[in-house]
Chain A
Amino acid sequence: MIKVSTERDLRLDLFRGIALWLIFLDHIPSNAVSWITIRNYGFSDATEIFVFISGYTAAFVYGRAMSEHGFIVASARVLKRAWQIYIAHVFLFAIYLAEIAYVAHSFDNPLYTEEMGVLDFLKNPEVTIFQALILKFKPVNMDVLPLYIVLLFWFPPVLWLLLRAPSIALVASATLYALMWQFEWNIPAYPQGEWVFNPFAWQLLFVFGAWCALGGAQRLARWLNSPVVFGLAVAYLLFAFGIAMTWYFPRLAVFVPKFVGEAIYPIDKTNLDVLRILHFLSLAVITLWFVPRDWPLLRSRVSWPAIVCGQHSLETFCLGVFLAFAGHFVFTEVSNRLLTHIIVSVSGIAIMVAAAALVSWYKRMERQGPGPRPPSIKPGYAGGDA
């Protein structure tokens, strides 16, 4: 069975923290500051980073639990985590309902008669709320946590296989991805359609992250250090950047040969388009090239805000979704000027950092407990969650 490394890689926390900030910025509708986020300059966005790192850390934390305490104990912990995420999702849904109910009650404009129809579901809440509880009804921007729940729900057997035959587990995951494209598998949603983040597709990135955590990264090291791979990654990022520019300057689209356009569009986020995976991998290759594991800035104060957010990702993510609602509320009710966008974005991130620091403090305190007790977490494991 594979031995799980005991040293937590702070780069994971750093980039997951940054991904959480980007997700927050992207989730505030019409936020001018979201102009800086990576989705505007290529095919992939912060979701890929978040799912990959979540897979990596899940394998890191529960992989060790499974090696040390066995399948049952580790599975129980994974499922407990899935349950926590479910609770968090339902809590966010309650906040969402409150916002919708407020808008329905207070807003009326003849220009938007059609759009206000979206509030019709308030007329039959018994159906909607039930569908939300079984994760079929998911309001806009509330799709990531249900994906995470499903991925964790599947994770114990996947982890079991990853610890014994990592290559087979990865091939199985890729096969499932391929079969999903072949047979168009997805989970139905309410009132119709399918899940915005298809778990059959996104599991690939999660499992790949887990595979990397359990020794895959070392096996890839030869490739990751190759200048050829680095060059390919740069070339692909430039290509994606060029295509992204045609979205903003449609006149540039004439330089994109027709066959290229036909081959790449639409770039499917629901089913995790191959172009998006390649874009994420290219970003990862370049990041690893410039940010080594012992990067001095990782231990500095500059990186701390992102790292602490990344270490408490569930709390930070949920708070980010809530803050995005609140930020949008400020735009519509108070002011929609550029300065407001900047203030809302910056103070949102500041609140996320403060909350993550608070959670961190609570966890340290609880670990110390009422009396002297041996620490349950080994040194070097920087106190983060899966």
Chain B
Amino acid sequence: MTGRILISLALLVLAGPANSQNLAELPAKCRVAEQLVERDFALPRVLRAIAAKRLDILVLGAGSSLLPGANGIKNAYPARLQIALAEKLPGVAVKVTTDVQARRTAAEMMKTLGPALAAAKPALMVWQTGTVDAMQAIDLDQFSAALGHGINIAHSAGADVVLINAQFSPRTESMIALGTYAENMRWVALQQEVPLFDRFSIMKLWADLGTFDLYSATKKLDIAERVHDCIGRLLADLVVESAKPDEPHAESGR
């Protein structure tokens, strides 16, 4: 994973700034991680929903989809995703609902998944998971199985899926094997042919470049809010890019 980030650093230097049409819309801070937003698989149901001018999204997640404080909900990435998507998709009614609760493993999220999907009827389920599984050292096979199960449930409920892996958390790195679970999600995503939003690598790149100081011991919310804002925007890029019609997505390499 380190290698992947070093390579993106190298690409960043080589490619220079002017190789994406999204640049203008992204704040400079988020922009550096753009190389890591891969558009690997299509989102046909989202494409149809955009064509029908109504895009409902369900964010299924645990504690790292939340921010504390009175404005926590407004500033966390699910709400930022809704705003970013609404900007990128004028004329489309975008609505993000959440099923977010701290300290849940992938398997535990399965319990409320059915009712949540039935209530939201989303075209897309954004599924953030992997942190609590890593903390509890859940068996990797069980973790993968839970992911596959959840993706199948979402697909049969008519929703595309985007997976989000764990946050990069430098202070707790020697205590939680987040990287293993984040990589495992990449394999599951490849196998199930769903896009992965590689939050782990993106935040690691931010930390390496000094974009955001993820090491600081602060009670203040400003950095956390900006991180969530960037994640919301980059996620919106991924959704819109993956749902573009008539472009063979495999050949979109640089």
Contacts and interface: CB of A to CB of B under 8 A. Distances in A.
Given A253-B190, A254-B250, A266-B144, A118 B172 contact: yes
Given A100-B175, A193-B139, A250-B40, A34 B215 contact: no
B108 interface: no
A109 interface: yes
A188 to B, nearest CB: 11
Contacts of B38: 250-251
Nearest to B170: A332
Contacts of B67: 110-111
Given A34-B2, A115-B131, A191-B136, A248 B7 contact: yes
Nearest to B196: A250
B217 A35 contact: no
A115 B176 contact: yes
A252 to B, nearest CB: 9
Given A29-B174, A31-B2, A115 B169 contact: yes
A111 B174 contact: no
A321 to B, nearest CB: 10
Contacts of B132: 114, 117
A77 interface: no
A140 B2 contact: no
Contacts of A119: 175
Contact of B224 (A40, A100, A111, A270): A111
B15 interface: no
Interface string A272-290: 0000000000000000000
Contacts of A32: 2, 6
Contact of B172 (A112, A192, A194, A251): A112
Contacts of B40: 250, 253
A366 interface: no
B169 A112 contact: yes
Interface residues of B, number: 58
B3 A115 contact: no
A109 B139 contact: no
A328 B217 CA distance: 16
B158 interface: no
Given A111-B224, A114-B131, A30 B2 contact: yes
Contacts of A191: 136-137
Given A191-B136, A193-B139, A266-B144, A109 B217 contact: yes
Contact of B68 (A34, A110, A196): A110
Contact of A110 (B4, B144, B221): B221
B196 to A, nearest CB: 9
Contacts of A265: 187, 190-191
Interface string B125-142: 000000110011111100
Interface string B208-220: 1000001111111
A249 interface: yes
B191 A261 contact: yes
A114 B208 contact: no
A300 interface: no
Interface string A293-330: 00000000000000000000000000000001100100
A126 interface: no
Given A99-B174, A114-B62, A332 B215 contact: yes
Contacts of A117: 63, 102-103, 132, 135
Contacts of B217: 106-109
B167 interface: yes
Interface string B1-34: 0111011000000000000000000000000000
Contacts of A248: 3-4, 7
A331 B171 CA distance: 9
A357 interface: no
Contact of A115 (B167, B186, B216, B250): B167
Given A108-B219, A110-B69, A250-B38, A261 B190 contact: yes
Given A103-B172, A110-B69, A266 B103 contact: no
A111 B187 CA distance: 26
Contacts of A325: 174
B202 to A, nearest CB: 14
B246 interface: no
A139 interface: yes
A247 interface: yes
B64 interface: yes
Interface string B171-201: 1111111010001101100110000000000
B64 A114 contact: yes
A116 interface: yes
A113 interface: yes
A191 B138 CA distance: 9
B87 to A, nearest CB: 24
B227 interface: yes
A118 B135 contact: yes
A328 B140 contact: no
A118 B103 CA distance: 10
A336 interface: yes
Interface string A23-52: 000000111101100001000000000000
Interface string A112-146: 11111111000000000000000000011100000
A109 B2 contact: no
**Would you list the 4 A-B pairs with minimal beta carbon distance, nearest first?**
A114-B63, A29-B173, A111-B224, A251-B253
12 contacts: A30-B173, A108-B219, A110-B67, A110-B220, A112-B169, A113-B66, A115-B131, A117-B63, A118-B135, A196-B137, A265-B191, A332-B215
Given A118-B176, A248-B7, A251-B38, 5 more contacts: A110-B220, A111-B67, A114-B102, A114-B131, A324-B174
